[in-house]
Structure 1
Amino acid sequence: MPNDFSSSGPPFHDHPQPHIPIHNERHMKVICIGAGASGLLLAYKLQRSFENFELTLYEKNADVAGTWYENKYPGCGCDVPAHTYTWSFEPSAKQSSLYASSDEIFQYFSSFCEKYELQKYCKFKHQVTKACWNDTTARWELEIADLTNGTIFLDSCNLLVNACGILNSWRWPDIPGFGNYKGPLLHTAKWDPSVDLNGKHVGLIGCGSSGVQVLPAIHPVVSKVTTFIRSPTWVSPGHTTLQHVYTEEEHREFETNPDALLRHRKTLESSLNNFFPVFIANSDVQKGVRAAMVDMMKDKLGDEGLAQLVIPTWGVGCRRITPGPGYLEALASEKVQVVFGRIEEITEKGCVCDGQEYAVDVLICATGFDTSYRPRFPLIGLKGKNLADIWSDEPKAYLGLAVNDFPNYFTFLGPNSPVNNGPILIAIEAQADYILKMIDRWQTENIHSFSPKAEAVEDFIAFKDSFMKQTVWDDACNSWYKGKSGKNIALWPGSTMHYLEAIAEPRYNDWDFKYTGNRFAFLGNGFSQTEKDLTADWAYYIRNQDDSPYLSRGKRRRVVTSSGTIDRKGPLGWM
């Protein structure tokens, strides 16, 4: 049998490399915007599974981890159990407590980067300022700002991945007179540790996750806090009653007995996955959790008047359930003054509500981020379309991953991803796997470009909108999950586990593929890649028994999930 594959086979003139075996892995260049959790995971998985590629992660910060590098305010931490906030394949036995601090989470991702030598892909203090698709060359052309010296240079790639994240473009509150305040002004996402809060009267704007974490953290050192609350929020009872610091004995067991750590992780993960029925409006689970949370919050507050102000009337989960060990107790303390309602004006001394001025020594804004999903730089697709303009009223993506008319482009945690539906990092893993399955097709076939079909996107959005009507996410609450129209633009229509099944296998019929030459040119010279490998088993398919994967989704699922091994009993009426 000939093994000179450079000359075997008939010529195929419309394929750039006609004399190679099927599924040749052509060189590809991938650019990822951001070296936070998602960007690092993409680098890890690309490095683990692929060859003949070039990868660059452009990161505006001086280090990895994105949100966890940037957020350093007092009390900052994760609002889900720390052992569920690790990659499924990369446990950590070092978590100090059930709910980890931002410093610990940053260290986890930093260590992950070092362990797998991902720094070589990262260009820190570099910010993408523009990206344009060139359909003639089938490449993304980017402008990059070197934040160290202020210069701008150009780069290009075959495939572009946006891993900027959702909660990292922080913003000051849009309040009249905001620039008038003369005292120290802080934002939770841009914390200045040089500002001394000891003995100060502090004003705190906002009662989302950041505000709820800040208040109990600064409460012991300040003389007084005036907290401005525009709308009520649910405070999770689990976070106020079940915070647990791991003992030395537990740490030793986790470090020496991987199975013990695995059991603990699975217990916590299963608990998060079990929470999704709460989000179904008027379900028995929703009603039961709501009643329990009302009782708990009233007990912690100990003030009926305050309880009427801060306990919501809308369903639990309409906006993100807020963590807060010690928050309710601090809110009810003598040190804290609660001012409920919209701030009318910022003055030189403080804030005006209902015509009354509240003077403070330091003003902290826990006022969140730009969650519009619009790119923070011009992102130009086919026909000169700017995604920021297209998404000005409502962002529409394909399964939270891709956009019609933006070829060879993916985004992590795009619109309608499972960001509050259950465990989040496993959803990011599923997105990375999906992206790389599409990239694999591009690398091993003569594909020019691909993007989701417009009708596929519209059908998904229609399904999502219909589904949301049966959930608490459709309630009348003020939430970053909702866009200008009031529609839910952030969340997936189902649980996280539902998402894992939904995107496990790409639906290629939902995509428009454009080819270079004959779409079957990738068939090459008639030989397989196995025949090219003289060290491979050329009869690999011969075996004593059928141990091949099952071909139906149902059987594959039951094998993967170890169906039949757990006796779980409980109400399933919500299904």
Structure 2
Amino acid sequence: MRKQLESNFNGMFKVFFKSTPEQRDLRNRFEARMKQLIKDEQLQQKLIPPFEAGCRRINPDEGYLITLQKSNMQPIFESIKNICAHWVITSDGQEHPADILIAVTGRAGSLEATSDYFIRLLRKFLREQVKKFDVRLDAQTDFDKHTQAYMQNMVWTGTYRRSTLHYIQTLAENRWEDYAWEYHGNRYDYWEQGLSWIEEPLADSLGRDEAEALHSSTIPTKDSDISFYLRESSPLPSSLGVKDECLLEELAIEQVVETKLSEIIQPSVPTSIPV
């Protein structure tokens, strides 16, 4: 089920291009459904965003909008100016009593692909006895120009807003030429033993690890499908301190969100709402 949800989500990237029929259809259906659920016109103006659908996270359930309209709820849209011991002061100067503050920072993104990339980066750093490294200015400038040009047609304004699969594929490429490297000594000193890790595994254990990393689950091959990074595996050991109920809850929420998003390719009216 998880793999099917990921495949559906990865196959709908055209929705996130501005002015496409898919984007207009999604935006119109979301807005129409939100107006059905939100009875107060002033609240509609506050909650229905003017930007394209998908620009911000999509709420997984309609109950969120329904709850905001209950008598014991008070939606506040002003920004926070200050946080004190027992209340929050908003930009309009109003004080709001608060027992608990919950900060929602968003999801962490493609953790596995990002982690794989930095592991390869650190392995190069250690294996080749690098003293320090930094991103080259010309590479950084080119990336920024390319991103700004590409973003003109997208619904987002983030730093990297191509498809998830493109992000994973990009991280599978080392692109060490985009960095400036400084070494402790000669850049080839790590060859000093003159033996390959095939002949003597301990002579170049990091080189052996690098070769094994080519089979990482986050590096696609020519035979990969659009959810290749999902594979069957054993549950995480309890020694890692992972609480099963928390993990299951996180996966359940993610599946709900992906299910709601996949509904946009169906003719029925979606129940997802942009926030």
Deviations 1:372-401 (A, max 9, x none): xxxxxxxxxxxxxxxxxxxxxxxxxxxxxx
Q: Note if 1:521 corresponds to 2:204.
A: no
CA distance in 2: counterparts of 1:353 and 1:310, whole angstroms: 19
Question: How far 1:360 moved relative to its partner?
Answer: 6.4
Q: Note if 1:560 corresponds to 2:224.
A: yes
Larger Rg: 1
Amino acid at match of 1:300: L
- Structure 2 counterpart of 1:413: none
Question: How far 1:367 moved relative to its partner?
Answer: 6.0
User: 479, 502, 505: which one pairs with 2:173?
Assistant: 505
SS at match of 1:431: helix
Q: Note if 1:277 corresponds to 2:14.
A: yes
SS at match of 1:471: coil
- Kept in 1, the 8 Å contact 2:165–2:226? The answer is no
**Overall identity of the aligned pairs, in %:** 31
Deviations 1:81-126 (A, max 9, x none): xxxxxxxxxxxxxxxxxxxxxxxxxxxxxxxxxxxxxxxxxxxxxx
Cα distance change, pair 344–464 in 1 and its aligned pair in 2 (3 A): closer
Deviations 1:340-397 (A, max 9, x none): 5568999999878979x7x86646655656xxxxxxxxxxxxxxxxxxxxxxxxxxxx
CA distance in 2: counterparts of 1:366 and 1:562, whole angstroms: 35
Amino acid at match of 1:336: M
Alignment of 1:13-28 (within 5 A): none
CA distance in 2: counterparts of 1:494 and 1:461, whole angstroms: 14
Deviations 1:317-361 (A, max 9, x none): 333334455121122334435565568999999878979x7x866
| TM-score, normalised with respect to structure 2 | 0.61
- Structure 2 counterpart of 1:316: 53
Alignment of 1:1-400 (within 5 A): 264-338=1-75, 362=98, 365=101
- Kept in 1, the 8 Å contact 2:128–2:190? The answer is yes
SS at match of 2:223: helix
Q: Note if 1:492 corresponds to 2:164.
A: no
- Kept in 1, the 8 Å contact 2:134–2:180? The answer is yes
- Structure 1 counterpart of 2:141: 458
CA distance in 1: counterparts of 2:193 and 2:80, whole angstroms: 71
- Kept in 2, the 8 Å contact 1:447–1:513? The answer is yes
Deviations 1:506-546 (A, max 9, x none): 01211112223332232224333333369xxxxxxxxxxxx
Q: Note if 1:433 corresponds to 2:110.
A: no
CA distance in 1: counterparts of 2:57 and 2:226, whole angstroms: 32
Question: How far 1:429 moved relative to its partner?
Answer: 1.0
- Structure 2 counterpart of 1:447: 130
Amino acid at match of 1:284: P
Question: How far 1:497 moved relative to its partner?
Answer: 0.7
- Kept in 2, the 8 Å contact 1:294–1:311? The answer is yes
CA distance in 2: counterparts of 1:321 and 1:299, whole angstroms: 17
| TM-score, normalised with respect to structure 1 | 0.32
- Kept in 2, the 8 Å contact 1:301–1:331? The answer is no
Question: How far 1:443 moved relative to its partner?
Answer: 3.1
Specify which structure has the higher proportion of helix: 2
SS at match of 1:492: coil
- Structure 2 counterpart of 1:90: none
CA distance in 2: counterparts of 1:361 and 1:302, whole angstroms: 27
CA distance in 1: counterparts of 2:129 and 2:164, whole angstroms: 34
Give the aligned CA root-mean-square deviation in angstroms: 3.9
Amino acid at match of 2:8: S
Cα distance change, pair 333–460 in 1 and its aligned pair in 2 (3 A): same
SS at match of 1:315: coil
Cα distance change, pair 453–361 in 1 and its aligned pair in 2 (3 A): closer
Higher relative contact order, chain-length normalized (CA < 8 Å, sep 6+): 2
SS at match of 1:460: helix
Gap runs ≥5 in structure 1: 1-263, 370-418, 474-487, 535-548, 550-555, 564-570
- Kept in 1, the 8 Å contact 2:113–2:172? The answer is yes
State the aligned residue count: 212
- Structure 2 counterpart of 1:79: none
- Kept in 1, the 8 Å contact 2:16–2:155? The answer is yes
Question: How far 1:493 moved relative to its partner?
Answer: 3.0
